[in-house]
Each structure stands twice: as C-alpha cells, then as structure tokens.
Structure 1
C-alpha cells in the first residue's frame, strides 16, 4: 500500500500526532508512506521514521487579501497535484477540513482513492464562508469522510448528505516516546504533593480559564494538591494573569509544552479536561492509558466515548463549573476511588490501541481499493 497524508503542518496537535502515529505504524508494516505539509519541516514537533518520505511545500504564508488568498490556494493545489502525480499514491488522506478540501481539488481526476479525516466536531469551529461552500461541494468527491464519533457522522449526514461517512476514532498509543522539549515533573512539583494535571493548547477551546477558577475554590480545602497545565498557545499571558488574580501563584503552574508528556501522566494523581468542545481528545485517552482517573466536561465530542462514567472517571454537564468543582473534590478526597478508577482507566490501551484503530483504517483502505477496482476508477 502506498499512502499519502496531507496536513497543514506537523506542529504539536492532535491531528498531527495521529498522522505521526499512523505513518509510523504503517511503515513498520511495510507500507510506503509520505507526509506532505504546507509548512516547512523545520516547524515539525513530531518525529517521523526515516522510512516515511517527508515533503514540505513551503506554501503556508498568510494571504493579504481575498485575491491573494485565491492565488495562494491555487499555487497550493498545483504544487500538491504535482506531488500526487510524482508519488502516485494508492490512497491520499486529507487531515482536517481545509487541507482535505485542497487535497480533493488537487486530486481531481487522478486515480488515487481520496479520504477526508476530520479531527474536530465541525459545528464548533465554523469555517469561513468560502471554505464552508468548498467543503460542502468537495466532500462528496471523497471516497470516504472519516469522522471521529457518531455525533460527527450525524452532523455529516445532515449537513452534507451526499458525503459517504464512516466513524474511526483516534488511536491511543501506549507507551509514549519522549522528545524535546523535556520538562521534568520534579522541577515543577515538589515530591509528595498531589498533582492535578491538564494538557492542551492555551486557547479558548480548552477552557483553562474555567479550570483556574474551579481550582481557586478547591485549593484552600485541598492544601496538598497543585494544578499543572501543560501546553502553549495565544492565551498564555491572559491565563497567567488570571492565576495571579486568583491567588494561585504557588499552586498553579503553566510550565509550557513538554515532549516527555508520559512522565507527567505517570506523576499525575488525577487528570482534568475542561474543554468547551473537542473532537476526540488524545490527551484524555493518553492520561487514562497511563493509569490516571479523569474528570471531564461532557462536551461535544469525545469525552463520553473515552470515559466510562463511574467506571474509570467522571463526566459532568458541559460548562457546569460547579459540577466540575464537586466532581474534582470528590475524587481528590477519595484515594481509594481514584485507585479503583485508575485500574479501569488503562483499558483504553486495548479499547483504542494503535493496532486496533490501524486495522480499522486498513479495512477501510482495502474496501475502497476493492470498490475502485470494481468501478474501474
């Protein structure tokens, strides 16, 4: 099998991590794999095996105005089409909405099977009007559109009924490998103190403003617990200011992005997800794979697919900060229950194993190749 991924970049992010995981797994199986990005590989966060062919188009510059945007996107389509003609993949996968649209346009009338892979619940991040129109036109051209959850598939069926959708969740690989930058937990949290951990991009989606407010109410009655939020993003200054405003300078830390995230999952006593929305949150699954009990807002979409309520974690109504506080305090004060949930949390290693999810992808690719042969396309 000759497979090509097209994605905006390989910076730190969920879709990027899935791309790296699948690409690495498939080359181990003897497949030919190419990863193509608009950004330069100099911006890559995830390492790829040498067997993975890496192509960077270096066409990610921002557009100055609508005409410039059209010209830039035509250049991207032409460059990607040239790569597709050269590599001649059996299957080309567009990771996330705009990259998928560009791929479908670039692959027009070429012989490869095309797949769209969405990595968020689309209603929560509406595209700009032009991209939305292009998505509605282009997605039916794809041989399949892969959604992460049933809710995502329902949205696709309602909004783009001619698109042919299927559900494949993200894999949750275990164990995780470390890479730069390294931040040792002991450099941030004193030994013997309890760690409430959150991981994600410092943006509005992740709801860390809510989490800091919740922890400010928990900290006085739980003096042996500290909060660490790992990640980077545009709201760093705002969140650091909020932490100071809430008097959490000594109890809440935002040390940055850690390439040794596995060390943090192993150090954590409890994991929390405060997101306003998700697609299929990798960090939640990874934390549970390392034996972290978890508390999460029951947001659209993903947490309810990963957490089994009252089995390996707790779900609370989306946006209900009082309920999030109560659930966290309940587990922070009950070590026995945390251990009980932790023992069940590791089931995600099998439920969403890289091998199992890869087989779902392989079955889909084989099905599509068979369909293509039958149709003569």
Structure 2
C-alpha cells in the first residue's frame, strides 16, 4: 500500500485549494492501494471547513502558527516526518511549499508532486514563488497544473525535467435531472477569497452600473479575506449597502447558487476557477473576464455564459444587464450549463491522479 501525503499550509482553511485537495483525497482513499494523510504546517482552526474521510489522518509540523523560524527548521521537521512515516509520495497542494519539500526530500526515496494552484505568470502574496516554480521544474518528479493554458506556459518558459501534467479540478457531475434553475430569482452571486487577485473592487464598479438600473436585484458575495474593510468602504461610498452584500464564508454555498440567477467572476487572475464549475453544476449562467487562466476553458462563450475582455467594466455591466432583461437567454445558458463539463468529471480526474501516482 502506497502512503500518499498531501502537504498543506493549513488544511482547516476555507479556500478553494483546501476544498479541491480534500475532494481528491476523499476519492483516492477509496482505492485500497493508497493510504492517505494530510500534513499541514499548522492548523489554525479547531475544525475542518471541508469534509474529510475518517480514514484520512491529519498531522502538523507545528502546534500553532509559527513565524520567525528559519527555513531549515521547516525542512528538518518535514524530512523527519516523511522518513518516520515512510511516505512514498508527497503532494504539495501549493507550489510555494516546494521551498520546503525539495530540500527535505533530498536523498530520500519519497517522490514529489508539485500541484500548482496559480497561473504561471502570477506570483501572488510572495515574490519568490517564481523561483520555486523553476526549482520544481528541475527537482520535482511531477508538476500538476490546472489548465491547458498553464501547461503550455510551463513548456514555453521552463525546462521541466519530470512529468508535466494538466489535471483539471473536478466537479461531481450528475445526469442533469437535479438541476432546477430559479427563473424567478433576482440575485446575482459571486464567490471567492476577498483579495486583490479576485477583483472584487472591480465587481463593485460593475455593480454600481447594474444595480442602479435594476435596483430590485441583489448581489451577494460569498467569501472572506483581507480586503473586506476596503471593499466595505467602497460599497458604502457608492451607496450600495442595501443591494450588494458581503456574506463572508458560508458552509452551504450550493444553497446560495440555487437561489441565484447569475454567477459573475471578476478575477484579475485564476489558477482554475473552481467557483465557475460549481456554479455551472447548479445551472447558473456565468459571466467572467477572460483572465488567465481557467475561465476560457470552463465557459463556452454565448452558449452557457459570457467571456469578456479584461477588464472592461462597461462591457461586463452591459452583459449582466442583458441577462437580467432577457429570460430566454438566461434559460438557454442554464439549459446548456453542463455542456463541455465532461472533462471535469470527478471519476475521470481521480483516475488521472491515480495514473500519475503509479507512473512516478
């Protein structure tokens, strides 16, 4: 039985990275060939935000959030954990963790998969992410990216010594009979971490135009993050507090999708765009900027949504208004919501992960 460890910053967080890694782990643990566990740098919350199979054990390198420690301390603890637990494959669920994993696994039989969650040309939060990507290209046994666009970026920009594989983030796709689009809804929904890359500041600019014309509609944003205060101030400044609501983190995001009429993504960048696949699964027409990378591989323009120039506020507002004012287009997009999503089927995605693990 192969021992597979997903390495995370903090698996108790509520982000898309944590969500998709728990989904994949829950699928892989069904295979009797695999013994799955999670290792976090630390766990900042008492409970997991997303469900994890009871068979999957969780560990931490540190008991609490740690700052000021040298990188070598992280490397030493990770190396000790891998050796003492006889880990066969370590999966970094964010490429930045390669900073610790690559030196920790030197001379150890454990294989390394670097699972990159961000677009190649984007270096959010930390400046040395660009360096770790090039390091992973030389040292990791495999690199997993989320889009074809990013796979081509890696091929063009770096010489990947190991395996380079595009594996989409999955959705559980039914037969479509459970989709029940709410034609009477007057709610627009968006979701994501409240940070600069997600572009919620631009969302407010769009909302100002849309909600001025359609003041009987509401726009709900699900998610939390460091930009909340700044966004609240901008919402208040634009007199949108009654119609544009920041809900914070929600555990029942599917219920919000089902009560909504339109999903909107205003991101500057995406690693994939998991929220788009979630919205499509619930039958929602989607409107998004054609940002790197992901939306153009998820939305079929003018079939189940609109893909718009980056970052044309007026154009996005115009297309949302068009959807609000034309139920026939909304119905058409909803009926076609699952067109092109076969490639995201969770069974296909888990098979690709199993094949990669066996290959390395």
Alpha carbons 1:272, 1:296 under 8 Å: kept = yes
Q: How do 1:169-184 residues align onto structure 2 when only pairs under 5 Å count?
A: 169-173=168-172
Q: Does 1:272 align with 2:264?
A: yes
1:350 to partner: Cα distance: 3.3
1:55 aligned partner: 59
SS in 2 for 1:276: coil
Cα separation, 1, equivalents of 2:86 and 2:340? 36
Cα separation, 2, equivalents of 1:59 and 1:163? 35
1:63 to partner: Cα distance: 3.8
Deviations 1:292-315 (A, max 9, x none): 110000000000010011111110
Alpha carbons 2:300, 2:340 under 8 Å: kept = no
User: Which TM-score applies when normalising by structure 1?
Assistant: 0.86
Cα separation, 2, equivalents of 1:212 and 1:151? 28
1:230 corresponds to which of 214, 222, 227: 222
1:251 aligned partner: 243
2:41 corresponds to which of 22, 34, 38: 38
1:351 to partner: Cα distance: 3.0
Alpha carbons 1:289, 1:348 under 8 Å: kept = no
2:139 aligned partner: 141
Cα separation, 2, equivalents of 1:273 and 1:84? 39
Alpha carbons 1:293, 1:342 under 8 Å: kept = yes
1:53 to partner: Cα distance: 1.3
Unaligned runs of 5+ in 2: 175-183
1:29 corresponds to which of 28, 31, 36: 31
User: Which TM-score applies when normalising by structure 2?
Assistant: 0.90
Distance 1:355 1:309, change over 3 A: same
1:264 to partner: Cα distance: 0.6
Cα separation, 1, equivalents of 2:21 and 2:350? 11
1:113 to partner: Cα distance: 2.1
1:334 corresponds to which of 318, 326, 329: 326
Counting matched residue pairs gives: 347
1:351 corresponds to which of 329, 343, 350: 343
1:37 to partner: Cα distance: 0.5
Instruction: Please give the root-mean-square deviation of Cα atoms over the aligned residues, in Å.
Output: 2.1
2:150 aligned partner: 152
Cα separation, 2, equivalents of 1:215 and 1:209? 10
1:5 aligned partner: 6
Q: Does 1:221 align with 2:213?
A: yes
